[in-house]
Copies of this chain bind each other. A is one copy, B any other.
Amino acid sequence: MGPGPINAHPRVLRAMSAPLVGQFDPAMTEYMNEVMAAYREVFRTANEATVLVDGTSRAGIEAALVSLIEPGDRVLVPVFGRFGLLLTEIAGRCGAEVHTIETAWGTVFDEQEIIDAIHRVRPALVALVHGDTSTTMLQPLERVGAVCRDEGVLLYADVTASLGGNAFEQDAWNVDVATAGLQKCLSGPSGSAPISLSPAAVAVLDRRRSVEAGIAAAGATVSQARIHSNYFDLAMILDYWGEQRLNHHTEAASMLYAARECAALLLEEGIDAAVERHRRHGAAMLAGLKGLGLTVFGDEAHRMNNVVAVNIPDGVEGDAVRAAMLTDFGIEIGTSFGPLHGKVWRVGVMGYNARRDAVLTTLTALDSTLRRAGFAAPADAGVAAALAVYAEEAR
């Protein structure tokens, strides 16, 4: 019940134990096509260029940034938590001229602030996090997307933590590139990064396309603007997933099976229903934590559905409570990073764990643990508060 990774759905675990098939076996290429189609629905996009990067969600982020950013490009990163800082870090390593705007951790930007910064900086790319688990905040994007489209600026969004548990509309919001992972609301393991790129983003790749020596019969072709990574060269990765099937990496078949099953689960449930499930159980968890006498960290109006941060009470040792929750009840909750380390607990309600029994079990275990740590609410007040939310919603 931490901020992710979380327990995978049993169907996803089972999918990973399916026998492997060769990467150019027609069965495998058909799976790849199915994955592309499924993630178009998941991202709510018509983008042909919708594939997996073989690595964790961070691999997806780096693939997007290193493939889109040429050294010297101006990149604007609005930072409202740790994962915004990560974008500045990666963009810097890609040689970008990084411009940041910042807002206090626990808040989001008024979209107009970002738009003003776009007009001031005139970046080639705006890179931001949709939902930053470090602060639990969800940044509205729609107006920013429209401005980027009108101004010819590319917009990248890291939707790792938000996708499937909060509304996200890649095409309607004019997000050029989105990357995700499986280990949050998609109920899967870390290790595969779905990505989708708009035609405008693919046009950037087309200018930077290279073909490896040893692959092309005609020898290598190298773009002047060659991408500074081979593994994350999205032009090559698209050639691998596309009709040409040009050999690149060896597809991580088991992780592809996992990604395919994650998408199947989400689409069977329906994306809107999944978002509503995360909202409902997240609201119950929020109420329950308040019922335990804890105060919520950050702007509740912009909270992600799938994770709640609460302030660690004075006099309570945060890590001891986390250790007791894990040792005594087998339940993991998180703290956060940097300035919030040891200041907040983060409780996830996501993916396979966005369930009534998981919420109530976590609350009663935390009630017991906090009581022994000397922080006592009225008996069972957490569970009662969560049950009240469920009862209210059932009416």
Please list the residues of chain A having a beta carbon within 8 angstroms of any beta carbon in chain B. 2, 4-8, 13-14, 16-23, 25-26, 54-59, 62, 66, 81-83, 85-86, 88-90, 93-95, 134, 181, 183, 189-191, 212-217, 220, 226-232, 247-255, 258, 326, 332, 337-339, 341
Tell whether, in the assembled complex, residue B5 and residue A181 are in contact, meaning their CB atoms are under 8 Å apart. no
Tell whether, in the assembled complex, residue A134 and residue B337 are in contact, meaning their CB atoms are under 8 Å apart. no
Per the bound structure, the CA–CA distance linking A254 and B214 in Å amounts to: 32
Q: Which residue of B lies closest to A56 (CB)?
A: B249
Tell whether, in the assembled complex, residue A20 and residue B189 are in contact, meaning their CB atoms are under 8 Å apart. yes
Query: What are 17 A-B contacts with C-beta separation under 8 Å?
Result: A5-B20, A13-B19, A20-B183, A23-B190, A58-B249, A66-B229, A82-B214, A86-B212, A86-B230, A89-B212, A90-B231, A93-B229, A189-B254, A189-B255, A191-B191, A214-B338, A255-B255
Per the bound structure, the CA–CA distance linking A253 and B220 in Å amounts to: 36
- What distance in Å separates the Cβ of A93 from its nearest Cβ neighbour in chain B? 5
Per the bound structure, the CA–CA distance linking A229 and B4 in Å amounts to: 24
Most B-side CB within 10 Å, residue of A4, A54, A190, A214: A214
* Copies of this chain in its oligomeric complex: 2
Per the bound structure, the CA–CA distance linking A189 and B20 in Å amounts to: 7
Tell whether, in the assembled complex, residue B8 and residue A22 are in contact, meaning their CB atoms are under 8 Å apart. no
Contacts of A25 in B (CB 8 A): 326, 332
Which among B93, B230, B337 is the interface contact of A247 at CB below 8 angstroms? Answer: B337
Which are the 7 A-B pairs with shortest beta-carbon distances?
A191-B252, A82-B214, A85-B214, A17-B17, A190-B250, A55-B55, A16-B16
